[in-house]
A = this chain, B = another copy of it.
Amino acid sequence: MGRKKAYTESELLDMTKKLLLEHGYEGFHVKLLSQHLIGARSTIYQYYANKEEIVAACMKRVIIKVIEKASAVDESNPMVALQQLLQVYVEESEFHQLLGDANKINAGVSVAVAQDLEYIEQSHEILKVQLMRLFGRSLQEGHLREDIPIPALISVFFNLVNAPNMMKLPLSKWSGLLFDMWLNGAKR
């Protein structure tokens, strides 16, 4: 039967994600990864041909989860949908930070990398389209100010997920608060 796997592929990608968030793309090393897993560094190459593949696979897995959750959002009421979407993004807030480095990955090292990168880009596009759709409908239905350019509206909305949750509120409460502030402003 051969030896038992020291760790699952999922564990490997989880650790990769953790280390990417901690050290950034350029600070992520296979050596570092292996030090946080049991087993030898060379064993990692049984699963992935090179560093780039690991990172790309990690990013792909992350965005898949986001897409899954985002497509489960009920879009019948666009404002409610936006609020729910914000919660999804807040829950998966690292994905934004993480995928920000996707363009740094050298796609040339292997086809697998190129494919994953392609997949990621398409997923990104899907999310963007969904967001535009919801914003469009919200505007049409007169829920949002028209004196603010839509890109600015979106930019600020999307950027909310990076606001540090300093009080460590539960995410559903925190995302509610953020949505409230975005919608109603800070003014008394």
In chain A, residues 143-177, which have Cβ atoms closer than 8 Å to a Cβ of chain B?
A: 143-146, 148-149, 151-153, 155-160, 162-167, 177
Are A151 and B177 within 8 A (Cβ)? no
A80 at the interface (CB under 8 A from B): no
Task: Kindly list chain B residues whose C-beta atoms are within 8 Å of the C-beta of A142.
Answer: 188
- The CA of A163 and the CA of B24, in the complex, are separated in Å by 20
Stretch at the interface among A9-17, A114-122, A178-186: A178-186
Q: Majority SS of interface residues in chain A?
A: helix
* Residue of B whose beta carbon sits closest to that of A155: B163
Report the minimum CB–CB distance from A31 to chain B (whole Å). 12
Report the minimum CB–CB distance from A188 to chain B (whole Å). 5
Are B177 and A144 within 8 A (Cβ)? no
Task: Kindly list chain B residues whose C-beta atoms are within 8 Å of the C-beta of A184.
Answer: 145, 185, 187
Are B167 and A163 within 8 A (Cβ)? no
A–B pairs, 26, beta carbons within 8 Å? A24-B25, A25-B26, A26-B27, A142-B188, A144-B188, A145-B184, A145-B185, A145-B188, A148-B181, A152-B166, A152-B167, A152-B178, A152-B181, A153-B181, A155-B164, A155-B165, A155-B166, A156-B160, A158-B163, A159-B160, A159-B163, A159-B164, A181-B182, A182-B186, A183-B185, A183-B186
**A contacts, CB < 8 Å to B:** 23-27, 104, 142-146, 148-149, 151-153, 155-160, 162-167, 177-178, 180-188
